[in-house]
Structure 1
Amino acid sequence: MRIATRFVSRTAASSMVVAALALAGIQAAGQTASAAPQKASSVVTCTTANTKVTVAEVSRPINHLLLKATNTGTKPCYAYSAPFLRAGADAQAPLPWADETTPQAVLVLEPGQSAYAGITTYSPDGEGGGKEKTLGVIFANRQGNATNTEKTLKLPNGGVFFNSAATVTYWQDNAADALSW
C-alpha cells in the first residue's frame, strides 16, 4: 500500500511540475513576443551604399588580390554569394565565381565587421589577357542577381594583369579562407 501511495504522489508531483513549467513557458513566450519588436533589428543586403570595399595585393599566393567589404551601416547586412567583379572599364562580363568556395551559410556582417573574397587574377592555363587599372564591384542580392551601383576601385601598382583564368571566391568570414583557393 505504501508503494502505491508513493507512486501516486510522484505522479501527482510530476504533473504539477509539468503544469508549472508549461505556465511559465506561456508567460515567458508572451514576454518575449512583446519585447521582440523593440529589440529586433532588421538585416539588410550589403550594397555599395552601406559597405566600404577595398582591394589589396597579397604576397601569397601569387596572382591573387584580396577584396575586403566592411559594413559601414548601422544595421547588420547579408553578404550574399560572391561579388560581381569587372576587371577593367571595358570588361564585357564579370569574373566567374569559384563554386568550390561556396560557404555553408550566408555571411551576416554586423556594423564594423568585414567579409573577404579572394581574386585569382591569372593562371598560365588561361588565355589572352591584359593589364587592367580598375576593378568594378557590385554586390549580389538574395537571388544571386546584381544589386545597385557599381563601386570602381583602383587596382594596386597602377594595374594588374588578368587573363581568362581569373576568378573570384564567394564571400568568406576571414582573409585566410578567401586566399586559400
Structure 2
Amino acid sequence: MRHIRLLAATGTAVAALALTACGGNGTGTEDEGAGLPTTPTASAEQAASKTPQAGTGGRTANGTPVTRTHAPDPRPSASPATRGSQGGTRAGTSGGSGASVVLCNGANTTVTAQPVARPLNHMLITVKNTGGKTCELPYYPVLRFDQMQWVPQADRDTQPQAVVSLAPGESGYAGVLLSAADGSGTGGMTARKLTVGFQGLTPNSSGGPSATPSLPAKGVYYDSSLKVTYWQQEMDDALNW
C-alpha cells in the first residue's frame, strides 16, 4: 500500500514539471524566441530592393515603375553675353546694335586718284563700294607716294560729324593738297606711284588691304605741304577746303 502511494506522488511531480516546461498554460511548447514579433522583419537588402532608386530607371522588385530623377547641374548656365563672347565677335560694332562692321578697303572697293583743275594743286581720291555689303571709311586715307618715309597729316577742320558709310555702289571721297600754291613748300618731287591705306576702327590701325590707284603718266608733283582731308560723303566737301 505504501509502495502505491510513493508511485502516485512521483507521477504527480513529473506532471507538474511538464506543466512548468509548457509555460503553465497548457498551450504547448513555446519557441525559444518567446517575446519577439511573430511576423519576421524584412532585411535591409530586401527593403532596398523595394525602394525606387533615383536615376536607375526600370521597375522595382514589386513591379512598380521607377521615376528617373537627375541631380541639378552644378555648372552655372552661360548668359547670352558670355555665349556671345565665347562664340567670338568682330573688333567693332556699328551704332551699338551689335552688328558687325564691314570696313571699306582695297578688297571690296575700287579706288581712283585724279588731279583736278580747281582748287589748284589738288587731287581727288574716290572710293567706290563694289562689295555686297555696306562698308565704312573711318578717319582719313593713309597716303604713300613712291617710297616716301613720312605720312601726310589730315586737316582737322575737315573731320565729318559721322563716319562715312557706303552702300553697295556708292562712293566716298578725300581731297589731297599736293603742294603749296605760293611755292612755300619744300622738298618737292614727282611721284609715279601711289598707295592708299585704310584705317580700322581705332586711329592708325589697319583697316585691311590697301589700294594702288594709277597716277597720270607724267606723275604727280608734291612737296612738304602735302596733306589730306578726312573721308567725305560728298565730293564737294572733299574739294572745298
TM range (shorter): 0.7 to 0.9
**Which position in structure 1 is the counterpart of 2:234?**
174
**Aligned with 1:70: secondary structure?**
strand
8 Å CA contact 2:201–2:207 kept in 1: the answer is no
Is 1:135 aligned to residue 194 of structure 2?
yes
Cα distance in 2 between the residues matched to 1:174 and 1:108: 11
Please, which of 59, 68, 71 is the counterpart of residue 117 of structure 2?
A: 59
Any gaps of 5 or more consecutive residues in structure 2?
Answer: 1-97
1:45-89 CA-to-partner distances (Å, cap 9, x unmatched) read 11110111101121101100000001111010011010101022x
Q: What is the letter of the counterpart of residue 150 of structure 2?
A: A
**Aligned with 2:196: secondary structure?**
strand
**Aligned with 1:57: secondary structure?**
strand
Q: Aligned-pair distance for 1:95?
A: 1.4
**Which position in structure 1 is the counterpart of 2:169?**
112
RMSD: 1.6
Q: Aligned-pair distance for 1:94?
A: 2.0
Is 1:152 aligned to residue 212 of structure 2?
yes
**Aligned with 1:177: secondary structure?**
helix
Any gaps of 5 or more consecutive residues in structure 1?
Answer: 1-39
Cα distance in 2 between the residues matched to 1:150 and 1:79: 13
8 Å CA contact 1:43–1:75 kept in 2: the answer is no
| Percent identity of paired positions between Structure 1 and Structure 2 | 40
TM-score of the pair, normalised by structure 1 = 0.73
Give structure 1 regions of 4+ aligned residues with deviation exceeding 2 angstroms: 40-43, 146-150
Structure 1 or 2: larger helix share?
1
TM-score of the pair, normalised by structure 2 = 0.56
1:89-128 CA-to-partner distances (Å, cap 9, x unmatched) read x111221111110000001100001100000000122111
Q: What is the letter of the counterpart of residue 131 of structure 1?
A: T
Cα distance in 1 between the residues matched to 2:123 and 2:158: 16
**Which position in structure 2 is the counterpart of 1:91?**
148
